[in-house]
């Protein structure tokens, strides 16, 4: 293959990716259920902010208030936005049509992921920034330590939390796409999505705690074990980078490098599964071989 052919193929993949991404954006905007979930999320974030900062003002207290809330709601949102994305195209026959146009599987999965990620990450980041903007308003008349001491508490710490939340959103959305690509029925997709949300929120952490309590895992292995769970890895990064010693939580953050590797591993593996399972290469090759034999 010549350099020109390689460039043309790459250009075609990129063009297809953006076409699919644009379609996904339109699909999300036209889905009332997803828009309703977005509204509920925004109202919930503002509500937690309004109630939480009333007791102790500042960005670090707000981060701690929103951390557990984000661990629960972000996976729920991501799976709601992603678990049917590829499956619906399969059930309606659109995947088969795309294959006849020789659309690259990377372009298709990348487009679906990009289109939905733009909306979902925009929702999470926008809602959290609205919450951050409320902090000076709600704490203006509260002479608390966090509100007064800029060295201990600043908007930069909250920005770190927002960035980490955006990354956590991208990771969980990638897992949702993997479920959508692997499932063949809505019932299977819903069951897998429900099981994974439960595992993310409580299952993996509960298993690790039970293993430590029973002596199966040693205390020295805690940092590595925490990185296995996406929620724990996200929590550890927030505690280390956005809260730190200010909140007295750094000792519970685990290893920052392992937490980064843990989230990165989930993200890459999930996208890899989605690309691999979006349509079966073996079946396609078998069909082509069969057609060739019939022609002969």
Distance CA 135, CA 116 (A): 29
pTM as predicted: 0.85
**pLDDT (tens digit per residue) in 223-273:** 787 788 888 899 989 988 888 755 444 445 668 899 999 999 999 999 999
Per-residue confidence (pLDDT) for residue 147, from 0 to 100? 44
Q: Does pLDDT of 152 surpass 70?
A: no
Average pLDDT, the chain: 80
Q: Are 109 and 278 in contact (CB under 8 A)?
A: yes
Phi-psi region of 249 (alpha: psi -120 to 50; beta: other; left: phi over 0): alpha
Per-residue confidence (pLDDT) for residue 122, from 0 to 100? 94
User: Whose CA is closest to 84, among 200, 194, 186?
Assistant: 186
> Rounded to whole angstroms, what are the CA distances from 289 to 4, 98, 285?
29, 20, 6
Q: Does pLDDT of 180 surpass 80?
A: yes
Distance CA 132, CA 113 (A): 27
């Amino acid at each position: 293959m010549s350099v020109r052919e390689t460039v043309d193929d790459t250009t075609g993949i990129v063009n297809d990716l953006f076409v699919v991404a644009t379609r996904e954006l339109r699909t999300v905007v036209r889905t009332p259920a997803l828009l309703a979930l977005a509204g509920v999320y925004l109202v919930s974030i503002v509500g937690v902010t309004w109630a939480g900062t009333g007791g102790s003002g500042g960005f670090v207290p707000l981060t701690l208030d929103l951390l557990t809330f984000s661990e629960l709601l972000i996976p729920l949102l991501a799976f709601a936005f992603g678990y049917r994305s590829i499956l619906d195209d399969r059930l309606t026959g659109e995947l088969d049509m795309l294959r006849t146009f020789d659309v690259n599987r990377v372009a298709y999965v990348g487009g679906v992921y990009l289109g939905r990620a733009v909306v979902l990450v925009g929702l999470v980041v926008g809602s959290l920034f609205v919450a951050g903007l409320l902090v000076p308003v709600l704490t203006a008349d509260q002479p608390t330590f966090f509100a007064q001491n800029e060295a201990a508490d600043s908007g930069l710490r909250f920005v770190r939390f927002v960035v980490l939340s955006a990354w956590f959103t991208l990771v969980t959305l990638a897992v949702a796409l993997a479920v959508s690509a692997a499932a063949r029925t809505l019932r299977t997709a819903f069951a897998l999505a429900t099981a994974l949300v439960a595992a993310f929120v409580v299952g993996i952490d509960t298993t690790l705690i039970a293993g430590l309590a029973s002596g199966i895992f040693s205390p020295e292995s805690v940092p590595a074990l925490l990185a296995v769970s996406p929620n724990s890895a996200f929590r550890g990064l927030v505690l280390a980078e956005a809260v730190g010693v200010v909140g007295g939580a750094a000792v519970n953050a685990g290893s920052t490098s392992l937490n980064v590797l843990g989230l990165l591993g989930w993200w890459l593996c999930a996208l890899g599964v989605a690309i691999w399972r979006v349509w079966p290469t073996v079946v396609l090759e078998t069909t082509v071989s069969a057609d060739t034999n019939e022609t002969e």
